[in-house]
Structure 1
Amino acid sequence: MPEDSFDGRNPTSHERMTGLPWDASYHEGPAPWDFGGPQPAVVRAAPRFTGTVLDAGCGSGENALHLASRGLQVLGVDVAETALEIARRKARERNLEAEFKTADALHLERLQLRFDTVLDCGLFHAFDADERVAYVKSLEAVTRGTLYILCFREGENAGPHPVKREALTKPFGAGWRVKTIEEERVRTGFHDENGAPAWFATIEREPSDE
């Protein structure tokens, strides 16, 4: 796969495994994880979201747009430009104010912004162990409040890349506090309406001495 197929960045472990960039998932209809709406778990948690919001790995924007519909200031970022174009179109069609921008989740410091709430819906589980360490380091640069992670876990009818509980908590060391990890479900385009087993983690950024 030519490097320019990955926009000049290093491909992730998932991209190396499939041989395709994330953007390819949106070229022939909805991506496998798109089912036509925001994740129910995110909808239930949305009243707890405050201030400025970053949706890391926002895809086609359903979660970000739901949060924007609640009056939150939302930035959705992804490496898949096709997905971002879809998200921008949805925002126009629904008359919602949300910004969508190309950004690498492993280098969120390049945004030079900090957010009160950060959402990761379906991104954490796509990284391997080394990438998760780098990803958490990237999140440190942009999170000043609470991080919410919704990811696949092991169980019956599990989704790809299921995450063990200890693998979810391991990358979060000093500067973070894992507040809760709850059992949830993730809706996808290839599961029924019950979705796949998931974790929903609430992780708080601890105040620095700065």
Structure 2
Amino acid sequence: MTDDKLMDFDALYQGKSVAVGDGGEQLDNIPWRLDGPQPVVVEVADNGEFTGPVLESGCGLGDNALFLAERGYEVTAFDAAPTAIEQDKAKAAQRGLKVDFVVADATKLDGIASGFNTALDSAMMHCLSDEQRRDYLAALHAVCTPGALLHILCFPDTIRALFPLPGHTDEASLRRDLDQHWRVDRMEMRGYATSFTREQWAATMPPSVAALPAEGVDDRGRVLIPIWQIRAIRA
């Protein structure tokens, strides 16, 4: 489940143009389509910070889950958009990878088995309101094992010109909600890779968004935007 006021994610995955927010700018493509895993997720894996079984929240295009499956992890990945899940299942079949892709409501996780040693949230949690976020973190706690690691990439409040975030994502608000069920042991600002070069970003985004404070570009020339990187341990 994500806040309906943000955008129609299922329509976006169907290739349709969707409005961002209530009557906001039209989005004609998927800014997070990298055709591969998010670089920060690769970094976390390279550092040995995943232990299976792994649960990915809001898996979207499925690239992070498929990357982890290639690394040999047992992976379950869910999203609220049925179109994304069907596309992800097709990708897994084409590549001969085993990932349990399912449609689920993040605030309830009905139908998701328990016993996960690691959970990954790569840019999903900021799609939730504060109340939904608290329900989500409680649901994650319920399906994870004692001492499980939770890795989160979450846009800060400063990104509101790009996405009209339904919840508060300043450091104090995030720590407040996480601390109910998780112990934060790392929280820092990183760069989240988009599918845009600087030129594409400037040409595609409205001026208010194009002027956002950026974290530069990665080694492939893709624009990086600010995102919280959080690691927490199940309390």
Q: Select the residue among 27, 49, 56 that pairs with 2:14.
A: 27
Distance 2:151 2:64 in 1: 12
1:75 Cα deviation after fit: 0.6
Q: Secondary structure of the equivalent of 1:65?
A: helix
Query: What is the deviation of 1:113?
Result: 1.9
Tell whether the 8 Å contact from 2:118 to 2:150 is kept in structure 1 after alignment.
yes
Partner Cα distance (1:25, 1:163) in 2: 24
Identity %: 36
Moved more, 166-175 or 96-105: 166-175
Query: What pairs with 1:1-210 in structure 2 (closer than 5 Å)?
Result: 12-13=2-3, 15-18=4-7, 20=8, 22-28=9-15, 31-46=30-45, 47-144=48-145, 145-154=148-157, 159-160=162-163, 161=165, 163-190=169-196, 192=198, 193-206=222-235
Alignment deviations for residues 67-89 of structure 1 (CA, whole Å, 9 cap, x no partner): 11110000110111111111112
RMSD: 2.3
Change (3 A) 1:121 1:159: farther
**Structure 1: 5+ residue stretches without partners:** 1-10
* CA apart distance, 1:17: 4.7
CA distance in 1, matches of 2:180, 2:132: 18
Distance 2:225 2:63 in 1: 18
2-structure distance, mates of 1:180, 1:43: 17
Structure 1 pair 191–201 and aligned structure 2 pair: CA distance change class (3 A): farther
For 2:211, the equivalent position in structure 1 comes to none
Conserved in 2, the CA contact under 8 Å of 1:75 and 1:100?
A: yes
Contact 2:144 2:234 in 1 (8 A): yes
Relative distance call for 1:16 and 1:158 in structure 2 (3 A) is: closer
Equivalents in 1 of 2:78, 2:197: separation in Å? 25
Checking the alignment, whether the CA contact within 8 Å between 2:104 and 2:110 is kept in structure 1 is no
Query: What SS does the aligned partner of 2:107 have?
Result: helix
1-side partners of 2:12 and 2:31: how far apart?
A: 7
| 1-structure distance, mates of 2:112, 2:179 | 23
CA displacement 1:26-83 (0-9 Å, x = unmatched): 0117533222221000000013101200001101200001111110000110111111
Taking structure 1 as the reference length, what is the TM-score of the superposition? 0.83
C-alpha separation in 2, matches of 1:153 and 1:190: 20
Question: Which secondary structure does the structure 2 equivalent of 1:171 belong to?
Answer: helix
Structure 2: any 5+ residue segments left out of the alignment?
Answer: 17-28, 199-221
Distance 1:80 1:191, change over 3 A: farther
By how many angstroms is 1:109 displaced? 4.7
Per the TM alignment, residue 179 of structure 1 is displaced from its structure 2 partner at its CA by: 0.8
For this pair of structures, how many residues does the alignment match? 193
SS of 1:107's equivalent in the other structure is: coil
